[in-house]
């Protein structure tokens, strides 16, 4: 293991946190897992013909997309849980807010991208913040965005029921770099983490056992029908009228 030289987290804590994230990465896909997201055979047919792909290529792209989505959730885990290593004052509750500091009365909701919240979820989060502030006027609530429009730590002002809410210094919209600064008192803490991250990930990958990248989707589809596209339709529509004898 290399020396990472970050003042706000020990080498071993950073390495172990990255290692847990790497070990949880998805490499395997089977038909049950593949169809858990309810594959749309009609869309798959359109995609294959319009993009001039074979049906197997389109399915393979969907497999990759699903694995990527699963792995993206792991990165959310990485971002959220790293703060408990910075200071004993920061913790990850089993439910409720994503991150809390009960000593300083800071409550954090973390989002990956600034455009991932629609109006409904944004309003719900804001009202939750308001309720927390009402219960404790010394509390501070942060909406922390990993990928924000810019580096910022500003009051979060939204419109509820067509009424623009008054600015409240205790309800804030904070980019991840500014949140790292709040937690570590280091203005460049997030930049420093990003600088060493490739090295830490490589160290973790070098110290795990080889993972089998197994994809049984195609084999299992072939068991449904000798025709690949027919199997895709039967996967979703086998209980629909007329599909008991369906064949393309």
Q: What predicted TM-score, i.e. pTM, was given to this entire model?
A: 0.81
CA-based max dimension of the chain: 67
Does an H or E element contain 159, and which?
strand 159-160
Per DSSP, what are the bridge partners of residue 107? 100, 141
Does an H or E element contain 54, and which?
none
Give me the pLDDT at residue 173, please.
95
108, 109, 111: which is closest to 89 by C-alpha? 108
Q: How far apart are CA 229 and CA 222, in angstroms?
A: 10
- DSSP string of 81-105? HGGGGT-TT-B--SSSSSEEETTTT
pLDDT by position in tens, the chain (length 248):
789 999 999 999 999 999 999 988 877 788 888 888 778 999 999 999 999 999 889 988 888 888 888 788 889 889 999 999 999 999 999 989 999 999 999 999 999 875 556 567 788 999 999 999 999 999 999 999 999 999 999 999 888 777 788 888 999 999 999 999 999 999 999 999 999 999 999 999 998 876 666 778 888 877 777 788 888 888 888 888 888 888 87
């Amino acid at each position: 293991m290399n020396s990472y030289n970050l003042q706000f987290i020990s080498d071993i804590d950073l390495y172990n946190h990255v290692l847990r994230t790497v070990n949880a990465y998805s490499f395997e896909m089977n038909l049950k897992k593949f169809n858990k997201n309810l594959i749309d055979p009609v869309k798959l047919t359109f995609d294959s013909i319009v993009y001039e792909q074979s049906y197997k290529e389109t399915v393979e792209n969907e497999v990759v997309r699903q694995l990527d989505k699963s792995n993206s959730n792991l990165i959310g885990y990485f971002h959220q849980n790293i703060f408990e290593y910075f200071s004993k004052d920061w913790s990850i509750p089993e439910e409720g807010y994503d991150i809390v500091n009960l000593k300083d009365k800071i409550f954090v909701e973390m989002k990956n991208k600034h455009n991932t919240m629609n109006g409904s979820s944004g309003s719900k989060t804001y009202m939750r913040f308001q309720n927390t502030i009402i219960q404790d006027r010394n509390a501070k609530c942060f909406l922390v965005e990993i990928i924000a429009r810019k580096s910022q730590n500003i009051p979060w002002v939204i419109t509820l029921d067509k009424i623009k809410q008054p600015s409240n210094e205790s309800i804030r919209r904070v980019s991840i770099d500014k949140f790292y600064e709040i937690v570590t008192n280091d203005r460049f803490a997030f930049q420093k983490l990003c600088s060493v991250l490739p090295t830490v990930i490589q160290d973790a990958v070098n110290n795990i056992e080889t993972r089998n990248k197994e994809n049984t989707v195609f084999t299992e589809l072939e068991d449904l029908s000798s025709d690949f596209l027919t199997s895709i339709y039967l996967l979703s529509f086998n209980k629909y009228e007329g599909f008991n004898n369906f064949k393309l």
